[in-house]
Structure 1
Amino acid sequence: MRATVNGTVVAEAPESDLVRIEGNWYFPPSAVVDGALTESPTAYTCPWKGAAQYWDVVTPSGTTSDGAWSYPDLKPSAVDRVGTDFAGYVAFSPGVTVGE
């Protein structure tokens, strides 16, 4: 699976390494291209996952503000609910194309 912006790959990993939650693919942190993400100040807390970290996605064609998010410190019940620890895994907003 790949996450791309205007043809630039920002994350890539086998589907078996990803976690699918609520219709979103979450990529392991090691799958994200170095320098593709910069921290965003946007704050959000999911009632069942916990506090999110939003990221701007940076490519040669520009920056997609809040184009990605992750949950660095999951609520323990989130791991139980999903069945795997996805702390730090990165999901992408609609401005980023995710597919094979």
Structure 2
Amino acid sequence: MHPRPDPVGPGQESVWDYPRPPSAEVTPRHVVVELGGRVVADTVRAVRVCETSHPPVYYVPREDVADGVLERAAGSSWCEWKGAATYWDVVVDGRRSAAAGWSYEDPTPGYEHLRGAVAFYPSRVDRATVDGEEVRPQAGGFYGGWITDEVTGPFKGDPGTLGW
């Protein structure tokens, strides 16, 4: 059973209006990710992925990720829509944030523009922003949604949401 969506105010959108399967569109929003006092990703051409019940996820083109900060992490997972995910550690000046990012190196048809772009877990980096607004991480540890004031929930990942 799905929950009742939170009220939507001016300039907001409900994650319950997002599609399933998810949309994936290039956005001109300014996306920045920082770790250890260093900008590890900075782009105005991220791919914004929106899926029912999830806050948006921003995938940064590999060319807009700082050189040398990504190291292949152990493990993988499978998305029924996008395919096999590859995980990445983010390493800055000897500080390692394990599995702080993920990518689809060979995405399924319809998601080809995600190829090689990296999404970052806001909970595993020091700071992530969209147009200067600090992002709040999606609960639960597995999902990497970016919660900003423009999106309303409730969001998958909180206790009791597994069946959504």
Residues 4-42 of structure 1 deviation map (CA, whole Å, 9 limit, x = unaligned): 01321111112xx11111411110010011110000121
- For the 8 Å contact 2:42–2:65, the answer to whether it is kept is yes
Equivalent position of 2:34 in the other structure: 4
Aligned residue for 1:12, secondary structure, equals strand
Name stretches of at least 5 consecutive residues in structure 2 with no aligned partner. 1-30, 51-55, 133-164
Deviating beyond 2 angstroms after TM superposition, the runs of 4 or more aligned structure 1 residues are: none
Of the candidates 67, 72, 81, which is equivalent to residue 39 of structure 1? 72
Q: Which has the larger Rg?
A: 2
What is the CA–CA distance in structure 1 between the aligned matches of 2:72 and 2:94, rounded to whole Å?
A: 18
Residue number in structure 2 paired with 1:95: 124
* 3-state SS in 2 of match to 1:33: coil
Aligned length: 93
Q: Secondary structure at the residue paired with 1:76?
A: coil
Question: What is the TM-score of this pair, normalised by structure 1?
Answer: 0.84
Q: CA deviation at 1:77?
A: 3.5
Is 1:71 the counterpart of 2:104? The answer is yes
Between the aligned residues of both structures, percent identity stands at 35
RMSD: 1.4
Q: Distance in 2 between matches of 1:75 and 1:55?
A: 20
List runs of 5+ in structure 1 lacking aligned partners: 80-84
